[in-house]
Amino acid sequence: MPRASVPAADALLDRPIPVLDHGFVRLVDYLGGDDRIVQSARVSYGAGTKSVREDAALIDYLLRHAHTSPFEQVVLTFHLKMPIFVARQWMRHRTARANEISGRYSLLPNEFYLPEPEQLRPQSTTNKQGRADHAVPPEQAARILELLRAGQSERYAEYASLIEEGLARELARTHLPLSLYTEMYWQIDLHNLMHFLRLRSDAHAQEEIRAYARELARCARAVAPVAVEAFEEHVLHGRRLSRRELDLVRGALDVDRFRAALAESGLRRTRRRELLAKLGLEEAPAGDGRERAGGSGG
């Protein structure tokens, strides 16, 4: 039986998607898609794929209730090229399989990351690990870029000189800066890729890795569009509330206005009932147009 394929994903295979100045994301291979998720979820009682609408509803249910194992059945393999400092952040995600180019075996390329002028920003005064939301003045940006460019060129020339003198490559490479580009093959299942995207698409993540996350999401959407839509709905653009925050919302909630908005929302009945439960409200009895408040506030 031939392997199932997804036309939108096939169209992306082996096509490098440019990222930053010298980097790329390339989808090398994939295994499964939305159909694989629903087949895996239904295997316990022998039912296969149903209508598109029913399959989409099942994927949405699985995602919003954190039933993650069916999403692990979909696997994506990427060829990636990125600056070393991005790769070091990337390797924090240990739920994937990676094979990176080795400077012990190969001469490393003369390719370094230079930020765009608008990305040259001061240290943030509110975020200890990030940059401010405004760029430095143009004349300062020009000086910084020239300093970075000259330093990278000098370091690489010295690296090449050390190699010519016969120094072992594994030692010569230690002289190179973190802005040097590296490459790796990276294989990950869809569940863990969505976790990566949740963290690395966040506004607090470094802009350079967010640029890669956008293209990874593009590839994932081609492979499993229904699953990625559910991920964006419930995880990426959803928000969690603490117990105290939830109490505040309940206390301030106008139940009648909320009931009217919910009735006009277009949400499926199961989704409406789940939302009521989250807020500690009971569904109104048949014939009664109101919900009953439960828990604190109402």
At 207-233, the pLDDT tens digits run 999 999 999 999 999 999 999 999 999
pLDDT band at 141 (very low <50, low <70, confident <90, very high): very high
Total structural domains in the chain? 3
Write out the catalytic residue numbers: 200
Close Cβ partners of 157 (under 8 Å, ≥ 6 residues apart)? none
Q: What pLDDT is stored for residue 209 in this prediction?
A: 97
pLDDT at residue 285 is higher than 90: no
- 298 inside domain: no
DSSP secondary structure string for all residues of 113-143: ----GGG--PBPSS-TTSB-SSPPPHHHHHH
pLDDT band at 268 (very low <50, low <70, confident <90, very high): confident
| Pair 222, 130 in one domain | no
pLDDT at residue 291 is higher than 50: no
Task: State the average pLDDT for the chain.
Answer: 90
CA distance 100 to 230: 32
For the ranges 42-51, 194-203, 271-280, the maximum mean pLDDT occurs at 194-203
| Pair 164, 197 in one domain | no
Q: Which residue has the higher pLDDT, 211 or 43?
A: 211
Nearest C-alpha neighbor of 209 from the set 100, 128, 90, 93: 90
| Pair 61, 186 in one domain | yes
Q: What pLDDT is stored for residue 287 in this prediction?
A: 47
| Pair 68, 195 in one domain | yes
- 107 inside domain: no
Sheet holding 181-189, edge to edge: 17-19, 23-31, 75-83, 181-189, 97-100
Q: What pLDDT is stored for residue 298 in this prediction?
A: 33
- 112 inside domain: no
At 110-133, the pLDDT tens digits run 999 999 999 999 999 888 888 998
Q: What pLDDT is stored for residue 294 in this prediction?
A: 41
Q: What pLDDT is stored for residue 284 in this prediction?
A: 58
| Pair 22, 166 in one domain | no
Q: What pLDDT is stored for residue 48 in this prediction?
A: 56
